[in-house]
Structure 1
């Protein structure tokens, strides 16, 4: 009997990785960050991005880390998937994260990074016409997510709230 081990590909903060079945993509530490999975299930190919901030226009640096921002990381994720053989019309997405990790007495939306990250990711996916099949966003707890290329399921472990599959 041959037991196939499934390699786990870890996606760091402000990082982006790609995988093919039977590999699993995992990222931890999603507080206000948003984990974005874009995949073509029939081709068994996927990518995961760990987005920290909504817009690269906020950066004053010339050596910008494109993987840190929704407006640069998500297009890179989609474009690279297509180059690797995914079919644009078959792409789908799942997202998780975007929590409000701290409570603010101010109504200043600049402080609500989780919500702004979520909204930025959704706008870009919509621009690329990639439908979001499921999401687990908001709240005030951190998450770890794992995407299985075999099943297309995203396992979400939320601090103090247990696990679910979306």
Structure 2
């Protein structure tokens, strides 16, 4: 599918999320952070979040997209506002790289991946594809009009979506 006229491009910073229609391209750069990408093939709706940590110790009064539990809850809220259901979306997961090597005892990237997968299941969503872990950053571009996801990873050149690892239940 060709890029429609009037497409807006959104650059997600850490802790941000965006949910929109087919006139949107969403980009982000991930290290140990994780992005959940959602796409509804029929309605041509989709979204992405840029999660920094699994959860926060002292929840605040307002939701904060930096945390997996709150970001995924906010995406589900956006989905329901459109009259669609979370289970109708193709879900992909990216990021969670080990950016600090042996400097940290706990791999925050893996913790982010684990939290996201658990939360997706809790919200009735199934992860269809993932490209997570390993070393280094990932540059991610998602075209809502087609569902196409482009990923660049330093250890691999361009990776086609069909080469992502399938998520296991």
Range class of TM-score, shorter chain:
0.7 to 0.9
Greater CA deviation, 154-163 or 137-146? 154-163
CA distance, structure 2, for counterparts of residue 69 and residue 153 of structure 1: 25
Preserved CA contact (<8 Å) 1:153 1:165: no
Please list every run of 5 or more consecutive structure 1 residues that lacks an aligned counterpart in the other structure: none
2:80 corresponds in structure 1 to 82
1:33-58: CA deviation from partner (whole Å, max 9, x where unpaired): 0011122221111111000001123x
**C-alpha displacement of 1:105:** 6.7
Structure 1 segments of 4+ aligned residues over 4 angstroms from their partners: 60-65
1:41-83: CA deviation from partner (whole Å, max 9, x where unpaired): 21111111000001123xx474666100001111111121221
Structure 1 residue 137 and structure 2 residue 132: aligned?
Answer: yes
Pairing of 1:90-105 with structure 2 (within 5 A): 90-104=88-102
2:52 corresponds in structure 1 to 52
Please list every run of 5 or more consecutive structure 2 residues that lacks an aligned counterpart in the other structure: 162-169
Matched positions, count: 158
Greater CA deviation, 37-46 or 62-71? 62-71
1:112-152: CA deviation from partner (whole Å, max 9, x where unpaired): 10000000000000111211111110010101111112221
For 1:127, which of 122, 130, 146 is the aligned residue? 122
Q: Write 1 or 2 for the structure with the bigger share of helix.
A: 1
**C-alpha displacement of 1:160:** 4.5
TM-score normalised by the chain length of structure 1 = 0.85
TM-score normalised by the chain length of structure 2 = 0.84
